[in-house]
Amino acid sequence: MNYRYIGKNVPKVDALEKALGKAIYINDITLPGMLHGKILRSPYPHARIIKIDTSRAKKMPGVKAVITADDLPDGRFGPFIKDEPVLARDKVRYIGEPVAAVAATDLDAAEEALQLIIVEYEELPAVFDPLEAMKPEAPLIHENLKDYIATFQAIRYGNVCSKTTFVEGDIEKGFREADVIVEETFTTHMQHQCYIEPAGAIAQMDVSGNFTVWSCTQAVFIHQARISEALRIPMSKIRVIAPYVGGGFGGKIESHVQIICVALAQRVNNRPVKIILSREEEFSSTRPRHPSVIRCKLGVKKDGRIVALEMINIFDTGAYACDGPGVAAFGSLMARGPYRIPNFKIEGYCVYTNKVKTGAMRGFGNPQTGFARESIIDIAAHEIGMDPLDFRLKNALEPGDRSVGGQVIKSVGIKECLTKAAEAIEWKKPKKHKYRGKGIASIQHISGLLTVSAIVRINEDGTVSLHVGTVDIGQGSNTILCQICAEELGVNLEDIVIISGDTHSAPYTWATSASRLTYTGGNAVKQAALDAKKQLLELATDVLGVDKEALEVGNKRVFVKTNPERFLTFQELGAISCWVKGGPVIGKASFMVEEPAFDRSGFQGFPFGTMTAYIFAAQSVELEVDVETGQVQLIRGASAHDVGRAINPQNVEGQIEGGYVQGLGYALTEEIVFERGKVVNPSFADYKIFTAPDVPELKAIIVECLDETGPFGAKGLGEPGLVGVAPALANAIFDAIGVRITELPITPEKILKKIREKEFEKRRG
């Protein structure tokens, strides 16, 4: 079908504002009488709070408010388990945990006031390793774990805040039937989202006790809910607005400073309070990616068929659960990957430690389990003497196969993704140099989760107002939603204004996350536009005196099919609806992912409802290893993604490229480093992210396998671009020098160590 906007490279609707530096971010906002907030943080990983003395800080000139947990209701918050206090209550559980907060007339006064707060602690034994934390004798981080409210049937004990299990087939029988069994343990590390704009917020209370919160957030409605549950304020009294957001990657879904801002604003006579985190605070107190320890066992036949998979996935959630139960569960749901495996048992554990709390980051558990699975699949392929690409193709899902949980998957482009990603690096051609290698990995993800709602209003001049609760964090969702609305309504893109990211002017949406806005948001917008179109047709039917079936909508008009010269413009219909008949045309829709449901007979402790719209992708890389230094030189890479239909191909390519580069950082250079719970590299001087000169030749490949449930056949994209990069690199390193790296990030030191171990084994043999 020939579309006007779908499948076209439309510039982003916010491109001009951003290019000209006119976009307003949270730190650009200054309000009259604004105060500045700062947070006092724990210097200990685990300690009982004996006493807090704020008397000297309160007397300091310029200080308008000082708060501790004693000044707040005992409201705990969290997306899965309500275990996190606004300010530490009774004890601290990680270095950097908020203990007190101040609001002052300037930052210098606020920082000086923090130095005047005296906190008396009693240190407690701490645990930093999730495997140690799981032992019965480990120090308990949350003594009252079972008393916390949970949003699902959480399996929890000791320092394990949730356990999820997936079982299908007969795992023991599968391993008995296997000709070859391979086993390995993999570890992944803590990665920060590294959005360039630090987290921050401004909060103000008016004379009626209503709050307005401006925040760089991915989820205005989530923040509204967290503020309400933590401070016992009705949601109707809380308005959350997202200005332009300088990146998120999952790290700006849950609250950081927003609740503390509101708590301070309650005490300063209607003056706004602003808190912006420093980069050091970002690294040591926000919600980075979960480290993990993953044990894999894979059984295969000599002909390459996978017959059994067992995985134990242990996720280190830090001091508070936050998204951990979801990450451990979803990562485990994805652990089977895009393969037909008749027998599997996959367990996911979310474990407390005395480190900074972790949260959502691009991939949501999939990068951790994907690294392990795609590595052990490579190990198995080499073990039976089969090409790793052919091994994957032999076991890859096809249309009509089922997901974990029994859903029939109809849109499946994994084989095409694998083939094209391999072709892009000339997979079948021999090595050009001795220490060159090629690697590939394949993944699956979802894009259908929870709900989005939308409103499409036809103005009296025929233009369109599109209201959505989503937040564009740079990925281009506002543009995609406008393209879908324009295509469905038959209007020009420039006729649409999008109103988003404001709890008081937009309909409810869960969050900008989970690679879901094109699919769920697009469906909601398309249905709302259809609702508006239906109303326009009904109004035109009355005015023109013809049956609705005789009319068509297009080019900002409703016209008679057999006589296109007989028409009413949207402007005419908008004016008639507002002033003469029927009332304003307002289309609305709520889209909720409810079908197809999982068969949960093999599920235990899974915290989500239905998921759908499976995305498939393959990443490949060619590299060279310097065996003298362990340095990896990236030659070229490719990333192929089945996106259903590319609504905006140029935007899709940008997402693919960005995900791949972020995956390179995850694989090779990025790591938050701890010494007894303290972050020792909390700056970009010591935490290395990839920049443009580091990036190799990279090919972004779009594969379109239309999903009949998606808007114009589209699925999502955002997260998968990162997921397969690390295992592809590890596989390429093995191809280059014959050593297997099982621990991320892959550093020169680790490569040299493996080379020495290999040489030692050769000498022994």
- Tokens 């052919």 locate to 390
95 to 360, 456, 685: CA distances (angstroms): 20, 47, 21
CB 65 within 8 A of CB 264: yes
In tens, the pLDDT along 601-657 reads: 999 999 999 999 999 999 999 999 999 999 999 999 999 999 999 999 999 999 999
Ranges of the chain with pLDDT below 70: 765
Neighbouring-strand partners of residue 41: 98
CB 171 within 8 A of CB 187: no
CB 492 within 8 A of CB 486: yes
Calpha distance 39→257 (Å, rounded): 9
Calpha distance 45→350 (Å, rounded): 19
Backbone torsions φ then ψ of 220, nearest 5 degrees: -65, -35
Tokens coding 298: 């894979």
What pLDDT, on a 0 to 100 scale, did the predictor assign at position 758? 87
**Residue 444: helix, strand or coil by DSSP?**
strand
CA-closest candidate to residue 111, choices 275, 256, 257:
275
pTM as predicted: 0.97
CB 520 within 8 A of CB 448: yes
Tokens coding 339: 């393969």
DSSP type of residue 20: T
What pLDDT, on a 0 to 100 scale, did the predictor assign at position 117? 98
**Residue 186: helix, strand or coil by DSSP?**
strand
Backbone torsions φ then ψ of 42, nearest 5 degrees: -70, 135
Exposure string of 96-115, with b = 16+ CB inside 10 Å and e = fewer, is bbbbbbbbbbeeebbebbbe
What pLDDT, on a 0 to 100 scale, did the predictor assign at position 764? 79
DSSP type of residue 341: -
In tens, the pLDDT along 293-342 reads: 999 999 999 999 999 999 999 999 999 999 999 999 999 999 999 999 99
CB 483 within 8 A of CB 13: no
In tens, the pLDDT along 186-217 reads: 999 999 999 999 999 999 999 999 999 999 99
CA dihedral 335, 340, 345, 351 (to 10 degrees): 10
Strands (E), 471-580: 496-500, 551-554, 557-560, 563-569
Backbone torsions φ then ψ of 761, nearest 5 degrees: -65, -35
In tens, the pLDDT along 376-404 reads: 999 999 999 999 999 999 999 999 999 99
What pLDDT, on a 0 to 100 scale, did the predictor assign at position 1? 76
What pLDDT, on a 0 to 100 scale, did the predictor assign at position 762? 80
Calpha distance 14→22 (Å, rounded): 10
Strand 160-168 relative to strand 344-352: parallel, antiparallel, unpaired? Answer: antiparallel
Calpha distance 620→426 (Å, rounded): 10
Other beta carbons within 10 angstroms of residue 684's beta carbon come to: 13
Residue 751 parent element (H or E):
helix 748-764
Backbone torsions φ then ψ of 490, nearest 5 degrees: 75, 40
**Residues contacting residue 759 through CB under 8 Å, at least 6 positions apart:** none
Omega prior to 745 cis, within 30 of 0: yes
What pLDDT, on a 0 to 100 scale, did the predictor assign at position 756? 94
